[in-house]
């Protein structure tokens, strides 16, 4: 990345503000869902301990030596996307603009750079392998880059693009199961990777909406990979775990085995379908159905008291009426059984269920529904827990729910990916030796990230 991205006054002001109290750069994450757009602004604060983290530490390592401090959140309803695909550019752009205004007003920060998540049925993933000869008989970073390039040297249709190439494991000569081969001796290096591809047009339209709203896209990350970064521990990834992110339009699944991604999938059923069933079944507007689901919904009708009642808003000016809460729960229960059944079928077909030693972690907005975890344990027949964002400071009460897992995971990913950029000694902005204020900002940034990593 060149220095031009920090050449405007607002970016310089951001950097000064963010380094004034031992904080890092301003980071923004954008989660464009089928029902709502979430934009989160944050700064990173150093959690320095006695042991310093090696700068060459695995970038996929989930343990953070920095805490994400959330400073602003912007939310806006969205009708411009369906199942991760933009169907109305103007509506999506306007939703992003509204979220941007709200986040900037709350935080007091202005940034034009954003990390973005995306998912949908247009994503496809598969495994691949590559092999190269090791130069100088000892594996270097260059050898790893070469073997990854060899693994991704496959035929990809012209209308698709490679979004992620995720190493699963390495093999040196006859020794397999290696997670970090750098420094090891051998003749031949092999890599097994998981490749995620997306529709070229779908990604292009998404980027167009974001840029029209005034942002520069720093990177696009698969939804469930981002959320897993926020809710999973290293132990869970190593033991084997399945993350199920139940969003508005779809349920996203990511499997981790031996610390690496083993498989990803998308099920086209999500929270919107729950709300739509309530709207049709109780003859109430969509927005009222959504409120009923959030405030009074339960995925297990037997957990609801027979005496509980809820008020249901009428359609077209009709009067509100009261119904037993159990009637609402029965509608939700039917859809929950279908949704979880489809997820269970995907888990069985993946062949990975026997190695999911940590069970299943459910996150996303619908995971907060009462009874969904209990039903999950019954349907999956393995332990299930609710995944909430970890290691978050600042406005942590605002983003504590599973619906913010993707946005928080994006911030963590952004911090990991850009740390070398922010610590780079030779930066165009910092090369103005005649300006003492620039040198001061430079030293603060470098000191912070030296403490951070």
Q: Report whether pLDDT(58) > 50.
A: no
Q: 1-121+200-231+390-453 and 271-331: same fold?
A: yes
46-50, 287-291, 426-430, 448-452, range with greatest mean pLDDT:
287-291
User: Looking at 44-53, 312-321, 326-335, which range is the least confident one?
Assistant: 44-53
Query: How many angstroms separate the CA atoms of 427 and 324, rounded?
Result: 64
Mean pLDDT of 404-421: 85
Q: Report whether pLDDT(66) > 60.
A: no
Mean pLDDT of 298-318: 91
> How much is the pLDDT for 340?
95
Q: Report whether pLDDT(124) > 50.
A: yes
pLDDT band at 44 (very low <50, low <70, confident <90, very high): confident
pLDDT band at 47 (very low <50, low <70, confident <90, very high): low
Q: Report whether pLDDT(448) > 60.
A: no
Q: Domain spanning 1-121+200-231+390-453 has what CATH number? A: 3.30.420.40
Q: CA distances (Å), 47 to each of 23, 400, 443, in order?
A: 10, 20, 19
Domain ranges for the chain: 1-121+200-231+390-453, 124-199, 271-331
* Tens of pLDDT, residues 160-217: 999 999 999 999 998 998 989 999 999 999 999 999 999 999 999 999 999 999 999 9
Residue bearing the bigger pLDDT, 376 or 62: 376
- Tell me the pairing of strands 216-222 and 175-178: unpaired
Q: CA distances (Å), 82 to each of 85, 121, 288, in order?
A: 5, 10, 20
Query: How many angstroms separate the CA atoms of 365 and 361, rounded?
Result: 13
Q: Which residues pair with 113 in a beta bridge?
A: 216
CATH architecture of 271-331: 2-Layer Sandwich (3.30)
User: Looking at 65-79, 288-302, 374-388, which range is the least confident one?
Assistant: 65-79
Q: Report whether pLDDT(396) > 90.
A: no
CATH architecture of 124-199: 2-Layer Sandwich (3.30)
> How much is the pLDDT for 189?
95
Q: Which runs of consecutive H residues, i.e. helices, occur in 266-364? A: 271-282, 286-296, 325-350
> How much is the pLDDT for 357?
94
User: Looking at 76-85, 228-237, 441-450, which range is the least confident one?
Assistant: 441-450
Mean pLDDT of 93-99: 96
Transcribe 362-397 into DSSP letters: EESGGGGSBTHHHHHHHHH-S-EEE----SEEESTT
Mean pLDDT of 258-278: 91
Phi first, then psi: what are they for 124, rounded to 5°? -135, 145
Mean pLDDT of 288-296: 93
Residue bearing the bigger pLDDT, 435 or 297: 297
| 3-class DSSP assignment, residue 328 | helix
pLDDT band at 324 (very low <50, low <70, confident <90, very high): very high
301 CB neighbour count, 10 Å cutoff: 17
Mean pLDDT of 287-295: 92
Q: Report whether pLDDT(287) > 60.
A: yes
pLDDT mean across residues, the chain: 83
Transcribe 163-223 into DSSP letters: EEEEEEEEEETTEEEES--TT-B-SEEEEEEEEEEEEHHHHHHHHHHHHHTT-EEEEEEEH
Transcribe 25-56 into DSSP letters: EEEEEEEE-SSEEEEEEEEEEE---SSPPPTT
- Give just the sign of the alpha carbon dihedral 118, 6, 64, 175: positive
* Tens of pLDDT, residues 12-42: 344 334 333 445 678 999 999 888 999 999 9
């Amino acid at each position: 990345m060149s220095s031009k991205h920090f050449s405007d006054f607002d970016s310089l002001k951001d950097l000064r503000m963010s380094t004034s109290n031992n904080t890092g750069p301003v980071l923004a994450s954008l989660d464009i869902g089928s029902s709502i757009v979430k934009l989160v602004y944050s700064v990173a604060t150093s959690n320095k301990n006695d042991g310093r983290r090696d700068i060459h530490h695995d970038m996929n390592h989930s343990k953070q030596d920095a805490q994400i401090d959330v400073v602003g959140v912007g939310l806006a309803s969205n009708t411009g996307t369906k199942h991760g695909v933009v169907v109305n550019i103007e509506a999506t752009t306007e939703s992003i603009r509204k979220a941007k205004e709200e986040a900037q007003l709350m935080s007091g920060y202005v940034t034009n750079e954003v990390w973005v998540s995306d998912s949908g049925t247009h994503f496809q993933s598969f495994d691949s392998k590559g092999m190269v000869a090791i130069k100088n008989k000892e594996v270097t970073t260059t050898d790893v880059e070469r073997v990854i390039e060899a693994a991704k040297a496959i035929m990809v249709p012209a209308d698709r693009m490679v979004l992620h190439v995720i190493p699963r494991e390495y093999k040196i000569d006859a020794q397999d199961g290696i997670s970090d081969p750098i420094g090891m001796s051998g003749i031949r290096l092999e890599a097994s990777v998981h490749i995620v591809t997306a529709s070229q047009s779908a990604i292009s339209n998404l980027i167009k909406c974001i840029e029209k709203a005034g942002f520069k896209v720093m990177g696009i990350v698969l939804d469930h990979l981002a959320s897993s970064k926020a809710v999973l521990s290293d132990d869970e990834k190593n033991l084997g775990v399945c993350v199920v992110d139940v969003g508005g339009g779809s349920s996203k699944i990511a499997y981790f085995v031996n610390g690496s991604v083993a498989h990803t999938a998308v099920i086209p059923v999500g929270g919107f379908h729950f709300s739509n069933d309530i709207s049709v079944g109780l003859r109430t507007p969509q927005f009222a159905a959504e409120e009923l689901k959030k405030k009074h919904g339960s995925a297990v009708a037997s957990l609801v008291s027979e005496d509980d009642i809820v008020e249901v808003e009428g359609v077209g000016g009709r009067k509100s009426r009261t119904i037993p809460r159990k009637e609402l729960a029965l509608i939700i229960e039917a859809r929950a059984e279908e949704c979880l059944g489809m997820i269970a079928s995907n888990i069985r077909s993946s062949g990975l269920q026997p190695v999911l030693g940590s069970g299943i972690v459910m996150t996303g907005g619908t995971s907060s529904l009462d009874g969904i975890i209990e039903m999950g344990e019954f349907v999956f027949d393995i332990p299930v827990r609710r995944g909430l964002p970890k290691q978050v400071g600042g406005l942590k009460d605002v983003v504590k729910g599973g619906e913010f897992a993707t946005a928080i995971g994006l911030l963590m990913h952004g911090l990991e990916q850009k740390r070398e950029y922010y610590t780079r000694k030779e930066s165009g902005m910092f090369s103005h030796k005649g300006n003492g204020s620039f040198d001061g900002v430079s030293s603060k940034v470098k000191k912070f990230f030296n403490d951070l990593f």
